[in-house]
C-alpha cells in the first residue's frame, strides 16, 4: 500500500516522512541505476565507517521489486541496528528465529491478501543464518516456503567484539578468536541448493548491478515457486582490521559470484525477462 | 537444614508484601509523575477500564460527560497543551481515518495555543530523535521534556504503544496525559475516554468551545 498523509497533517509530519511520500520509491519501480534521483528508504545508519554490510542493505532495499509490499524479517546482528532506519515494514525476531517467523508471516499474508503479492524477505547475518538459526533456515527450505533468505556474510560476529562464526574462513584470527579458526567456512550455497532452494546466488556489493539482478530474481522466484537464497559477501573493516577506504577493493578482490536456478526458476526468469 | 527457615522467611515476606500491595492498590491514583523509573502498570494496581458510556479520571470511573468536561478544563488551563496524533489518524489509510483526522484538527483549533507533534510510526529512532518535531513511543519523555509540555492528548495510537508511552510519561515526567481511545480506554492515562469516534470528538470540541466562551 502506498501511504498518503491525512489532509491537514502534511505540515506537522517530520520532513523525511513527507519526502518519502512525495519522492520515495513506493510504486515507482525504481532501480539501483536511479539511486540519487529519489528519496531512499534508508537515510542514515549507526554502523561503522567502511561497513560493507550497510552498503549491501542500501543496495538490497533499492533492488526490491515492490518495496511498499515487502516485509523484511531480521534478527540480532550488526544489521539489526540499521533495520529500524528503513522505511520498509520490518520485524526483528529472536536470534535465529527469522526464517520460522518469516514462514508464518508469509502463510498468513497469503490468506489475508490472496490476490496480492506480499514479499517476505529475511535479511540476517551469517551468525543468525548459518549458526544460531541454521535449523530454522534449513527447515524453511525443506518446507518449500515462499520466502527469500538473504545472508549478509561478514564472516564473523562483529557487533559483539569479533568472535568466529561458521562462515569465518579457516585460519582467520579475530579479536575474540585469537587461536585462529580451526575448520573451513560452511558451504551455505551448496546447503541451500541441496535443501530445496529454487534459486541460489552469491554476490557482493562490489557488483551492484549484479546484486540487484540476483535480489530481484530471488524475490520473484520466491513469489511463484519456492524458497530462494542470496549470500552477500560484505567484509567487516572493524574486525578484519582494514581501512574503511579499502572496503570496496577488498570486497571486489574476494567476491565469488555464483548462481544456481532450478529448471522451473530458469523458465520463470526467462519469461519475466529478468 | 536451612530449607525450612527460608520457607518461613519467604512466607512471611510474601504475606507482608501482599498486604502492602493490596493496600497500595486500593489507594492508587493515576496522577502526573515523575512516579518512578519503572512505574507500575495501572492495571496491576487495580485500575479497571470503564464500561461503555463511561470514562476514567485518575483511575476513577466516571460518566463520559464528566470525563469530557475534565478534559476540556485541563486543556484550557494548560500552559502548553499538545496533541500527539498516532499513525491511525496521521496516515490516510481509510475514509474513517481521514474523517477522524479532520475532527481532531477541529478540536486542536478550539484550544488556544495547542500544538501538534506527531507519532508517525513506532520504530525505535536510533541513534537519535528530534524531540522538537516528533514523539516516539519508546522514549516519549524526551519530547515532553524538550517542549515543556504540561498537558497532552493522544489519539490514533495502537493500544500497546499507547500504554507504553503513557507509562513512560507517568514514570519520568509531570505531564498530564489524556487518551482519546477508539477501543476500551487506557487505564495508564490520567483521563481516558473509550469508543471515541468522529461524533464523540466533535462533542468534545463543543464542550471545549462552551467552556472557553464561558470563561471570557
- How does the average pLDDT of chain A come out, rounded? 95
Per-residue pLDDT of A92-128, as tens digits, reads 999 999 999 999 999 999 999 999 999 999 999 999 9
Contact flag A6-B91 (C-beta cutoff 8 Å): yes
Q: Which grid cell sits at B153?
A: 492528548
**Nearest of B150, B161, B181 to residue B77 by alpha carbon:** B150
Q: Which grid cell sits at A272?
A: 519475466
Specify the pLDDT at position B163: 94
Per-residue confidence band for A43, with pLDDT thresholds at 50, 70 and 90: confident
Q: Provide, as residue numbers in chain A, all residues whose Cβ is less than 8 Å from the Cβ of B91.
A: 3-6
Half-sphere exposure for A177 (CA within 13 Å, toward CB): 23
Instruction: Find out whether A131 and A98 touch, Cβ atoms under 8 Å.
Output: no
**Nearest CB neighbour to B101, from listed A3, A6, A85:** A6
Per-residue pLDDT of A134-185, as tens digits, reads 999 999 999 999 999 999 999 999 999 999 999 999 999 999 999 999 999 9
Contact flag A84-B125 (C-beta cutoff 8 Å): yes
Instruction: Find out whether B211 and B199 touch, Cβ atoms under 8 Å.
Output: no
Question: Nearest-CA distance from B122 to chain A in Å?
Answer: 9
Q: Report residue B26: phi and psi, to 5°.
A: -60, -40
Question: Nearest-CA distance from A180 to chain B in Å?
Answer: 34
Q: 3-class DSSP state for residue A209?
A: helix
Q: 3-class DSSP state for residue B84?
A: strand
Q: 3-class DSSP state for residue B138?
A: coil
Least confident of A21-35, B18-32, B53-67, B107-121: B18-32
Q: Report residue A6: phi and psi, to 5°.
A: -60, 140
Q: 3-class DSSP state for residue A247?
A: helix
Provide the pairing of β-strand A228-233 with A148-153. Answer: parallel
Neighbours of A108 (CB within 10 A): 12
The helix (run of H) or strand (run of E) holding residue B85 is strand B81-85
Q: Domain residues of chain B, as ranges? A: 11-214
What residue has cell string 514462514? A103
Q: Which grid cell sits at A16?
A: 523525511
Pick the CATH number of B11-214 from 3.40.50.1220, 3.40.50.1400, 2.40.10.120, 1.10.287.3510: 3.40.50.1220
Specify the pLDDT at position B124: 82
Amino acid at each position: 500500500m502506498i501511504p498518503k498523509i491525512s489532509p491537514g497533517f502534511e505540515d506537522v509530519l517530520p520532513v523525511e516522512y513527507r519526502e518519502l511520500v512525495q519522492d520515495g520509491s513506493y510504486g515507482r519501480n525504481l532501480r539501483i541505476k536511479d539511486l540519487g534521483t529519489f528519496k531512499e528508504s534508508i537515510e542514515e545508519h549507526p554502523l561503522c565507517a567502511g561497513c560493507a554490510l550497510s552498503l549491501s542493505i542500501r543496495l538490497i532495499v533499492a533492488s526490491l521489486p515492490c518495496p511498499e509490499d515487502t516485509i523484511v524479517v531480521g534478527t540480532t546482528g550488526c544489521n539489526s541496528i540499521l533495520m529500524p532506519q528503513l522505511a520498509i515494514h520490518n520485524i526483528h525476531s529472536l536470534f535465529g528465529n527469522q526464517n520460522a517467523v518469516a514462514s508464518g508471516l508469509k502463510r498468513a499474508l497469503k490468506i489475508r491478501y490472496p490476490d496480492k503479492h506480499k514479499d517476505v524477505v529475511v535479511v540476517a547475518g551469517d551468525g543468525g543464518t548459518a549458526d544460531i538459526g541454521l535449523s530454522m533456515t534449513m527447515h524453511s527450505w525443506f518446507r518449500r516456503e515462499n520466502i527469500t533468505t538473504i545472508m549478509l556474510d561478514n564472516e564473523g560476529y562483529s557487533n559483539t567484539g569479533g568472535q568466529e562464526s561458521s562462515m569465518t574462513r579457516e585460519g582467520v584470527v579475530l579479536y575474540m578468536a585469537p587461536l585462529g579458526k580451526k575448520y573451513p567456512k560452511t558451504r551455505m550455497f551448496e546447503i541451500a541448493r541441496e535443501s530445496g532452494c529454487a534459486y541460489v546466488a552469491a554476490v557482493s556489493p562490489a557488483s551492484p548491478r549484479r546484486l540487484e539482478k540476483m535480489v530481484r530474481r530471488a524475490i520473484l522466484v520466491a513469489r511463484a515457486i519456492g524458497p530462494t537464497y542470496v549470500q552477500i559477501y560484505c567484509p567487516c573493516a572493524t574486525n578484519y582490521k582494514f581501512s574503511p577506504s579499502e572496503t570496496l577493493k577488498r570486497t571486489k578482490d574476494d567476491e565469488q559470484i555464483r548462481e544456481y536456478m532450478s529448471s522451473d526458476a530458469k523458465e520463470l526468469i526467462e519469461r519475466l525477462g529478468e | 537444614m536451612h530449607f525450612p527457615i527460608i520457607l518461613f522467611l519467604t512466607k512471611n515476606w510474601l504475606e507482608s508484601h501482599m498486604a502492602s500491595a493490596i493496600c497500595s492498590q486500593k489507594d492508587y491514583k493515576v496522577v502526573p509523575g515523575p512516579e518512578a523509573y519503572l512505574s507500575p502498570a495501572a492495571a496491576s494496581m487495580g485500575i479497571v477500564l470503564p464500561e461503555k458510556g463511561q470514562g476514567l479520571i485518575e483511575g476513577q470511573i466516571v460518566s463520559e460527560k464528566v470525563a469530557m468536561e475534565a478534559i476540556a478544563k485541563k486543556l484550557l488551563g494548560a500552559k502548553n497543551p499538545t496533541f500527539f496524533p498516532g499513525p491511525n489518524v496521521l496516515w490516510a489509510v481509510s475514509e474513517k481515518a481521514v474523517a477522524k483526522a479532520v475532527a481532531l484538527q477541529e478540536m486542536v483549533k478550539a484550544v488556544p495555543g495547542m500544538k501538534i507533534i506527531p507519532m508517525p510510526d513506532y520504530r525505535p529512532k536510533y541513534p537519535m530523535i528530534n524531540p522538537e518535531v516528533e514523539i516516539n513511543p519508546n522514549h516519549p519523555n524526551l519530547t515532553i521534556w524538550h517542549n515543556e509540555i504540561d498537558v497532552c492528548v493522544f489519539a490514533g495510537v495502537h493500544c500497546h504503544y499507547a500504554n507504553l508511552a503513557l507509562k513512560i510519561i507517568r514514570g519520568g515526567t509531570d505531564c498530564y496525559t489524556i487518551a482519546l481511545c477508539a477501543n476500551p480506554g487506557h487505564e495508564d492515562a490520567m483521563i481516558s475516554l473509550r469508543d471515541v469516534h468522529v461524533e464523540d470528538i466533535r462533542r468534545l470540541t463543543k464542550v471545549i468551545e462552551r467552556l472557553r466562551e464561558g470563561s471570557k
